[in-house]
Amino acid sequence: MLQIFQEDPTLLLLSLVAMTFFTVLATIGIYVYSSKKMYKYWAISTLLFTFAWVPTNIFYTNIYYLGTLGEISIRISAVFLLLRGFRFQPIETLEKRKVRIIILAIILVTYVPLVLFSLPPILSSLVVLPLMALALYNAGKSILKEMNHTKIQTFTGISFFFWSGSCILLMGYSFSSLFYPVSYFQSTGLSMTNMMLFLMYIEDTRHEVEEHLSMSQVMSSLITHDLRNYINIAFTALDLMEIEDDDNEHYWTIAEESLTSALAFMSNTRDTIRSLVSGNSEKKEIELVKMLLEVRKQVIIEHELDENSLIIDNEEEYIILESPLLKQIIWNIIDNAVTHTDLKSNIRISVVKHEGVSLLIQDNAGGMDDEIKTCINKLSVDSERLGIGLNIVIRLARLLMIDISVRDVIEKEEVTGSVIEIKLNAV
């Protein structure tokens, strides 16, 4: 097999062309247009890996080891970029302590024994390749842990593991030429990750566009539910009092309730817009029970409820991987239940652990009609019966790709309320 590779370089040249194409295409496009540092670091590091691999495999017989020395230097630089891009903690610590100059000095000092004793292949095997394996493994683990939401991201993480494994195998090339064919696994791994970088960037960009579209839809929903509706009702009640010349308590109550609703509308609008702008949809680790306690406290104060009106069954903390905007979804669901009950509010929240985490919110608001339940279960806003609260819930759920469903609570053959289930990602 080794003889075939050496006598027929066609496969090598084809792999070089493929690598160069995807690398240049990805690097130029992604570095210029991406807003995420991870992609910028990734693009530059893969470009360096390619430039190190190409001349080494064509001119690896250079008697002065210039190609190999250059390869070592470039690959180590690429390794540090890749580790930094995927937030490898020791590298971030080194940056904070400003010892990058020391690291560079150590790398330069290694050139002396390289030139004097002609040891580049061994050093490359015993130093550079393990560092590459570490950086690639860390990148794959980070993608699968933090970004493992689509098939492209999953395949990208696996591609990094494949490339990392080939680095370990290639260490044997310094001791036996039988390991030379493994270098083609290197080119395959590099080509695959370059291609997946480009695809992930396209997918991520599409998701960002959809995210901004969903945000604009939430904004439009807020604007559609015009504040003037509440103000007009209050003015109408006051006009009727003036026309009838009657200080009717009923009209005062209507005006007061309308102005209170207008105040709640403005508060909800402000909180939602502030959350959309500052609490973006990027997922992070969240303490679920702590968030629920914050929402509970807010609702009790806003609606002047007693402590027993809103119960959280769970004391054990659950760590989830979701956007901070989840808090707005929970608040709007509970606020909607409190607003639409004619009885004393009785809302119970519980957390169920399975493969992920399910959040159950049960109320006694008398249930929802079928049209509204269909909208929630299908995450559709194609109904004029949806109020602003549920409209925001549905749009945010679509934005965050959260599964929400609703069912009736039936007691003595009567619908007494609803249970809304929110399925979340556990850490």
Report the CATH number at residue 286. Answer: 3.30.565.10
pTM tops 0.75, yes or no: no
Is residue 361 domain-resident? yes
CA 210 to chain centre: 14
Cβ atoms of residues 199 and 164 within 8 Å:
no
Neighbours of 109 (CB within 10 A): 10
Is residue 332 domain-resident? yes
pLDDT at 348: 92
Give 218's contacts (C-beta < 8 A, 6+ positions apart).
Answer: 272, 276, 392, 395, 396, 399
User: Are residues 256 and 290 part of one domain?
Assistant: no
Is residue 18 domain-resident? yes
Q: What is the mean pLDDT of each run of 10 residues along the chain (427 residues)?
A: 49 62 67 71 74 56 46 67 67 56 58 56 69 82 74 82 81 69 70 74 74 68 61 76 69 77 70 62 84 88 84 87 87 86 85 87 89 89 76 83 90 89 88
Is residue 418 domain-resident? yes
User: Are residues 42 and 175 part of one domain?
Assistant: yes
pLDDT tens for each residue of 142-197: 888 776 567 888 888 888 888 888 888 877 766 666 766 766 677 677 777 777 77
- CA-based max dimension of the chain: 107
User: Are residues 61 and 21 part of one domain?
Assistant: yes
User: Are residues 349 and 294 part of one domain?
Assistant: yes
Domain span at residue 142 reads 2-210
Measured CA angle at 186 (ends 180, 192), to 5 deg: 150
pLDDT at 66: 44
pLDDT at 116: 57
Is residue 216 domain-resident? no
User: Are residues 348 and 241 part of one domain?
Assistant: no
User: Are residues 416 and 386 part of one domain?
Assistant: yes
| Joined tokens for residue 86 | 């995927």
Is residue 337 domain-resident? yes
Is residue 218 domain-resident? no
User: Are residues 152 and 88 part of one domain?
Assistant: yes
User: Are residues 294 and 261 part of one domain?
Assistant: no
pLDDT at 254: 77
Type of residue numbered 194: N
Is residue 409 domain-resident? yes
User: Are residues 251 and 169 part of one domain?
Assistant: no
Count structural domains, the chain.
3
pLDDT at 62: 42
Could you give the CA distance from residue 364 to residue 343 in angstroms, rounded to a whole number? Answer: 8
Could you give the CA distance from residue 221 to residue 116 in angstroms, rounded to a whole number? Answer: 72
